């Protein structure tokens, strides 16, 4: 086990790609073992995500939380666009049954609120480092140069900027807002030269979206 961890940490590619791929695989398993597994696996993958971030934390130096007014502004603007634009464009991905633990486990039940809090915590603290590391630290720079870890995080490349933001957006049902979101996070990385502010903006966006969903009962966003 220790040898495997050392191998992952020693490889600039593995330590940025493997944790994200494990997380995506766990996401794909949600709901495959009955409806309740949508919720249990989400909670489980959030715990796994904490472990994965811990594993690669020493190796990915740009993966450090930072705070700035720009990060707050981007995080808030992203969620305004996410919610505000939603009625005005066609979605390519069928949303399916909303992720609503109150409908699954009983309105207002303790288990339902546990999964709501687990989702908000996971999307706020686990998703940002994993996604920013994969898209902004790996994918963006890999599109510029195969030996990606030699590319500065501040180097602007228009095609990499557009393609990374587009691919990031298309993984979400709200693809248009997702593309704008990806552009905002990438701008922060280019401006700051690290992932910290983008992670903070991403966390703010996801936290505000979670609070909006719970307050409005807008479960379709999950």
pLDDT in tens, 83-107: 999 999 999 877 678 899 999 999 9
Range of the domain at 120: 63-221
Mean pLDDT score, 134-144: 97
Question: Would residue 15 count as lying in a domain?
Answer: no
Question: Would residue 109 count as lying in a domain?
Answer: yes
pLDDT score for 1: 66
pTM for the full model? 0.95
pLDDT in tens, 149-207: 999 999 999 999 999 999 999 999 999 999 999 999 999 999 999 999 999 999 999 99
pLDDT score for 95: 66
Question: Would residue 50 count as lying in a domain?
Answer: no
Are 159 and 79 in contact, with CB atoms under 8 Å apart?
no
pLDDT in tens, 49-67: 999 999 999 999 999 999 9
Total domains in the chain come to: 1
* DSSP symbol at 125: I
pLDDT score for 144: 96
Structure tokens at 102: 């109150």
190 vs 1, more confident: 190
Place of tokens 């009962």: 217
Please report, for the chain, how many H helices and E strands are present, in that order.
11, 0
Question: Would residue 215 count as lying in a domain?
Answer: yes
Region at 198 (left for phi over 0; alpha for psi -120 to 50; beta for the rest): alpha
pLDDT in tens, 2-14: 777 888 888 999 9
Report how far residue 149's alpha carbon sits from residue 165's, in angstroms, rounded to the nearest whole number: 19
Question: Would residue 213 count as lying in a domain?
Answer: yes
Question: Does 22 have pLDDT greater than 90?
Answer: yes
Question: Would residue 118 count as lying in a domain?
Answer: yes
Are 20 and 131 in contact, with CB atoms under 8 Å apart?
yes
Question: Would residue 120 count as lying in a domain?
Answer: yes
Looking at every residue in the chain, the average pLDDT score rounds to: 95
Question: Does 37 have pLDDT greater than 80?
Answer: yes
Own/partner contacts of 144-151, CB < 8 Å, gap of 24 or more, are 148/12, 148/13, 149/12
pLDDT score for 97: 84
Question: Would residue 28 count as lying in a domain?
Answer: no
From residue 67, how far is each of 49, 126, 195 by CA, in Å? Answer: 22, 17, 11
Q: How distant is the alpha carbon of residue 86 from its chain centre? A: 19
pLDDT score for 178: 97
């Amino acid at each position: 086990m220790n040898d495997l961890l050392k191998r992952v940490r020693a490889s600039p590619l593995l330590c940025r790609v493997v944790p994200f791929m494990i997380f995506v695989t766990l996401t794909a398993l949600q709901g495959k073992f009955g409806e309740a597994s949508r919720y249990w696996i989400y909670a489980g993958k959030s715990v796994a995500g904490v472990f994965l971030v811990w594993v690669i934390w020493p190796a990915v130096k740009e993966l450090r939380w930072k705070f700035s007014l720009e990060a707050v502004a981007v995080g808030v603007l992203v969620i305004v666009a996410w919610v505000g634009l939603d009625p005005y464009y066609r979605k390519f991905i069928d949303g399916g049954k909303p992720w609503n633990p109150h409908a699954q486990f009983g309105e207002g039940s303790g288990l339902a609120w546990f999964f709501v809090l687990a989702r908000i915590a996971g999307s706020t603290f686990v998703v940002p480092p994993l996604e920013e590391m994969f898209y902004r630290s790996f994918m963006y720079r890999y599109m510029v140069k195969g030996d990606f870890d030699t590319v500065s995080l501040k180097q602007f490349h228009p095609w990499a900027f557009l393609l990374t933001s587009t691919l990031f957006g298309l993984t979400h049902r709200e693809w248009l807002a997702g593309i704008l979101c990806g552009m905002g996070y990438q701008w922060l990385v280019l401006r700051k030269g690290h992932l910290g502010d983008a992670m903070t903006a991403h966390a703010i966006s996801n936290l505000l979206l979670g609070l909006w969903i719970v307050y409005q009962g807008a479960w379709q966003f999950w």
